[in-house]
Amino acid sequence: MKIACAQFIPTFGDAGANAERICEITSVSAADLIVFPEAALTGYCVSSDAEAKQISIPSTHASLQQIERLLVDQGSYAIVGFAELDGEKVFNSAALFGPNGRIGIYRKTHIPFLGIDRFVTAGCDAPIFETPFGNVAIAICFDIRFPELARSYALRGADLICVPTNWPEGAQPSSDYICPARAVENHVFIAAANRAGEENGFRFIGKSKIIAPSGKILASAEHDQETVIEAECDLFEARSKRVVQKPGEYEMDLWNARRPELYGTLTANS
């Protein structure tokens, strides 16, 4: 399959304009799956709970329906981040769309003290979505800092972890080191789509990446400008957790070598 990451500059607080831009990018892409940044539909950098609610949209919003219709017509998949308003609660969410409509929504589970995340409710579920190409999971921005989430996804059969993100200045390690490490340690593909440009005093670093289970960088945006990166990926490469460098002499079984009885503290409350 061909995976793409769209590194673009959302218009703050204008879901309609951002949906138009997302549809424009998607309509000219030959990718089977295109990943858009965190909060791509709504913007991210707010300074109050009232402002967070003001830019947030319900999961039934017309902008999401517009994107859904395009993906159905085009027969491809896309992941789109948005600030989701559900009653009085705001979630940092990402929706997965496909040829049969909306497949599901993931709500960010690990919440930093930054931007709209200061005012959101943490999600409580980490679903894996089945597609004809393989099993897809979503981790939004700060989520990828936690090896437990990525490992949980991999143990449950995820082949690809998509990372819609808003990496600002100072977050370079997430692109340079953390995403490649998550790919290698779990032998999965990683597709990280960061935004570009500035928003309400924050500048974003770009540096979107598509990474193979080996850690090889398949595609990378080594700048902070708008661009779309693409890579051909066979997600079933992630299924075998036995890495063979030299048969019979240098092999690593990433799953059978695990020692779960030693890891209890990883899930204990601090």
The tens-digit pLDDT sequence of the chain (270 residues) is 999 999 999 999 999 999 999 999 999 999 999 999 999 999 999 999 999 999 999 999 999 999 999 999 999 999 999 999 999 999 999 999 999 999 999 999 999 999 999 999 999 999 999 999 999 999 999 999 999 999 999 999 999 999 999 999 999 999 999 999 999 999 999 999 999 999 999 999 999 999 999 999 999 998 899 999 999 999 999 999 999 999 999 999 999 999 999 999 988 886
Q: Is 216 a catalytic residue?
A: no
pLDDT in the model for residue 138: 98
pLDDT at 267: 84
Q: Is 191 helix (H, G, I), strand (E, B) or coil?
A: strand
Comparing CA positions, the residue from 28, 174, 24, 31 lying closest to residue 40 is 24
3-state secondary structure of 82: strand
How far apart (Å, rounded) are the C-alpha atoms in residues 100 and 258?
Answer: 38
Burial class (CB in 10 A: 0-12, 13-18, 19+), 104: middle
Catalytic one among 23, 45, 141, 233? Answer: 141
- The residue from 5, 108, 233, 241 that is catalytic is 108
Residue 269: Cβ-neighbour burial (10 angstroms; 0-12, 13-18, 19+): exposed
CATH architecture of the domain covering 2-240: 4-Layer Sandwich (3.60)
Q: In whole angstroms, give the CA distance from residue 216 to residue 226.
A: 23
Distance, CA of 80 to CA of 8 (rounded, Å)? 12
User: Given 5, 23, 38, 233, which residue is catalytic?
Assistant: 38
If you ran DSSP here, which 8-state letter would residue 48 be given?
S
251 is catalytic: no
Helix (H) or strand (E) holding 125: none
- Does 207 participate in catalysis according to the annotation? no
For CA atoms 27, 165, 84, 52, give the dihedral sign: negative
